Amino acid sequence: MRLTCRLLFAGCMLWSLSITAAIEPISTSIAVGMAAALTGFLARYQNVLYYFQECCRPEWISYNKTGLKYDLSTKLYGQHVAAQVILKAVTGFMNNENPKKPLVLSLHGWTGTGKNFVSQLIAENIYQKGMMSNFVHLFTATAHFPHEAHINKYKTQLQEWIRGNVSICPRSMFIFDEMDKMHPGLIDSIKPYLDFYDNLNGVSYRKAIFIFLSNAGGEKIVEVALNFWRDGREREEIQLKDLETALSLSVFNNKNSGFWHTSLIDMNLVDFFVPFLPLEYKHVIQCGLAEMVSKGRAPDKEVVETMARDLNYFPKEERVFSMQGCKVIPARLDFYV
């Protein structure tokens, strides 16, 4: 049992014993009997409490492969490569009762291509409370670590946060957005938790998941997608092998990226570099229709097409790929409805 579950159980036990103090003397014997019965019930059926308070137990943390597969195939648009890699990586890791190291995924691509959304889908298919779970932790570089002068304080706080939360629940998830903007020293400070250690100071991190989100390498991904388009090849023909090597080298050689200054790559601590392709007009349409449904509106393709045509695309003449992806759609759609 985890700490929060223990505290909940103890609190209920204390409450059952204290109710006698609030009852008139004539009813004390009845109250004592009720308290004893309740105490006995709670002691025998502790698992009932776990349904009311999130705990690090299967009732709250349970991987749903079927759900993740369905979500990736029906809610994520234009990302066949990322969907395949994510499903295999997460499934293999979650089905392994004794992994050798934490799962480390590095998601790359231009803004609006679905990186944050995929992180949300993974969380929703592992944790009953999804992104609202106490065991899912989201960090954004510019919001949580804005001042380089405070880097040493950030290092200490981040290490303590990771260590403390994994101590409470080994199946914790940590998501780092804007990794390309993170100070390299801060990235290096979490490196020990990503490595092949049985434990560090008595804490095992091997069942944790770390997800890095970054725009770094986006240009290389676009270059590959454009080459396929210019060669007359279908987008769906693009495979991970067409992108992974070029992507990892692009990230490693990008001196403006925090990754470049760290040893995460050359020490093979990142399990998968996951590329997110630039979205086409048809994918923007899909995003717009889904957004209308999510807002409780009847999907109107004519409205969505009008909105999609007004967005910016590249190359300028051919207008193949959306420059903003799906990120601006929630705000833009309201203007056209």
Q: Which of 80, 105, 76 is nearest to 90 (CA)?
A: 105
Q: Could you list the residues known to form a binding site for ATP, using ranges.
A: 109-116
pLDDT for 271? 93
Give the pLDDT confidence of 192-235 residue by residue, as tens digits: 999 999 999 999 999 999 999 999 889 899 999 999 999 999 99
DSSP states of 77-132: -S-HHHHHHHHHHHHHHHT-SS-SS-EEEEEE-STTSSHHHHHHHHHHTTBTTGGG
Residues of the chain with pLDDT under 50: 1-3, 8-23, 26
> What is the per-residue pLDDT for 246?
75
Q: How big is the chain, counted in residues? A: 337
Task: Name all domains of the chain by residue range, CATH numbers in brackets.
Answer: 65-276 (3.40.50.300), 281-334 (no CATH)
pLDDT of the residue at 244: 79
Cα separation, 15 vs 68, whole angstroms: 41
Instruction: Let me know: does 162 contact 237? Beta carbons within 8 Å.
Output: no
> Is residue 313 helix, strand or coil?
strand
pLDDT of residue 27: 54
Q: Give the pLDDT score at 29.
A: 58
Residue with the two structure tokens 């957005």: 177
Spatial distance between the Cα atoms of 193 and 282, rounded to a whole number of angstroms: 41
Indicate the annotated binding residues. Answer: 109-116
